[in-house]
């Protein structure tokens, strides 16, 4: 397999995001990969994404991986707008998931300018959430198919980990800090285990916010958090969609088949697969994942 090309993707709001592009010869088709949350980066990975890239290339499909604005916990990026350059904090600690629209559109525009005409959007973990949010706010987009890998219940995870009282307190504090214009302050109470600004935490933990795409804890009857309809982002998808989970996904509340069945009830027309023995990141099961993805795309 040829080495990937280091590329730069410019977003409408002025960010320059780095990526790796694996190009299939004379291809007009390309899969765009969205990574997960936290310290995630396409440049630091032990999950052998080259296996997936090679499998796609053998099918005549190019593969783009890029760092979105939520890569790493905290970083400073240049913003270039109207000929002027400024700097701002980004990373998971400051990310708002709706801004994924800028990142994805930037990637698709970049690829369109390189001659690509058919686009597949593949998101892992929080990347899967972002696909649903992107689709919700941009229904008439240029993507042909979606691939959701291990979409997670972030609201439920933080509610369960922090406990009801602490979760509610931090959510209220975050909302107040944002109202006062202090949303970019880091929440010291969460250090050192978790790194969030008040605005970042409110975005990821608000039960009625954009992040709550896969509210499994609520669907399992273990919490009552949301006032708005559950799975509204997921149910808005009308494009062909593949949903894949690892049998041993650490964030599926110990019952992957039940979680997948909950999703199937929302959208029975989608394709659902569970990869035996695989974890949340499909570690050591990249070959099986590549086979599932490539077989489905070809259909």
Q: In this predicted model, what pLDDT tens digit does every residue of 267-293 receive, in sequence order?
A: 999 999 999 999 999 988 999 999 999
Residue 230 is classified by DSSP as: T
Domain that holds residue 250: 5-153+231-298
- Give buried/exposed letters for 80-110 (b at 16+ CB in 10 A, else e): eeeeeeeeeebbbbbbbbbbbbbbbbbbbeb
CA-to-CA distance for 155 and 206, rounded, in angstroms?
7
Please report whether residue 281 resides in a domain.
Answer: yes
Please report whether residue 177 resides in a domain.
Answer: no
Please report whether residue 57 resides in a domain.
Answer: yes
CATH number at residue 42: 3.40.50.1820
Burial status of residue 188 (CB atoms within 10 A of its CB: 0-12, 13-18, 19 or more): exposed
Please report whether residue 238 resides in a domain.
Answer: yes
pLDDT score at 45: 62
**Per the structure, how many domains does the chain have?**
1
The token pair that represents 296 in the structure block? 């489905």
Please report whether residue 223 resides in a domain.
Answer: no
Give the SS3 label for residue 138: coil
Give the SS3 label for residue 19: strand
CA-to-CA distance for 218 and 72, rounded, in angstroms?
29
pLDDT score at 3: 86
Give the SS3 label for residue 123: strand
Flag residues of the chain having pLDDT under 70: 1-2, 45-48, 82
Give the SS3 label for residue 29: strand
Nearest to 70 by CA among 46, 101, 35, 43: 35
Listed in sequence order, the residues at least 6 apart from 9 whose beta carbon sits closer than 8 Å to its beta carbon are 16, 17, 18, 19, 66, 103, 106, 107, 110
Q: What angle do CA 189, 192, 196 make, to 5 degrees?
A: 65
Please report whether residue 165 resides in a domain.
Answer: no
Please report whether residue 184 resides in a domain.
Answer: no
Give the SS3 label for residue 265: helix
pLDDT score at 38: 74
What's the whole-model pTM score? 0.95
């Amino acid at each position: 397999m040829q080495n990937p090309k280091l590329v730069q993707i410019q977003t409408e709001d002025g960010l320059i995001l780095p990526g790796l592009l694996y190009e299939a010869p004379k291809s007009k088709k390309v899969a765009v990969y969205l990574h997960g949350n936290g310290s995630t980066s396409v440049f630091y990975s032990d999950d052998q994404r080259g296996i997936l890239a090679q499998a796609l290339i053998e099918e005549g499909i190019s593969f783009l991986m890029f760092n979105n604005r939520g890569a790493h916990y905290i970083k400073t990026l240049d913003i270039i707008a109207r000929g002027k350059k400024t700097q701002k904090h980004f990373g998971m600690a400051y990310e708002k998931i709706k801004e994924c629209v800028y990142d994805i559109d930037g990637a698709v525009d970049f690829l369109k300018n390189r001659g690509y005409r058919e686009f597949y959007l593949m998101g892992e973990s929080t990347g899967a959430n972002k696909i649903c949010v992107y689709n919700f706010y941009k229904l008439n987009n240029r993507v042909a198919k979606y691939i959701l890998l291990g979409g997670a219940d972030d609201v439920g995870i933080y509610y369960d980990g922090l406990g009801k009282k602490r979760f509610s307190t931090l959510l209220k504090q975050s909302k107040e800090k944002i109202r006062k214009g202090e949303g970019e302050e880091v929440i010291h109470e969460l250090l050192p285990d978790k790194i969030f600004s008040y605005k970042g935490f409110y975005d990821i933990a608000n039960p009625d916010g954009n992040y709550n795409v896969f509210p499994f804890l609520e669907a399992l009857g273990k919490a009552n958090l949301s006032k708005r309809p559950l799975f509204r982002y997921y149910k808005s998808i009308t494009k062909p969609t593949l949903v894949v989970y690892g049998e041993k996904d650490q964030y599926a509340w110990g019952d992957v088949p039940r979680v997948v069945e909950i999703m199937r009830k929302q959208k029975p027309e989608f394709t659902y697969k569970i990869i035996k023995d695989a974890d949340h990141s499909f570690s050591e099961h990249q070959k099986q994942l590549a086979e599932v993805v490539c077989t489905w795309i070809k259909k």
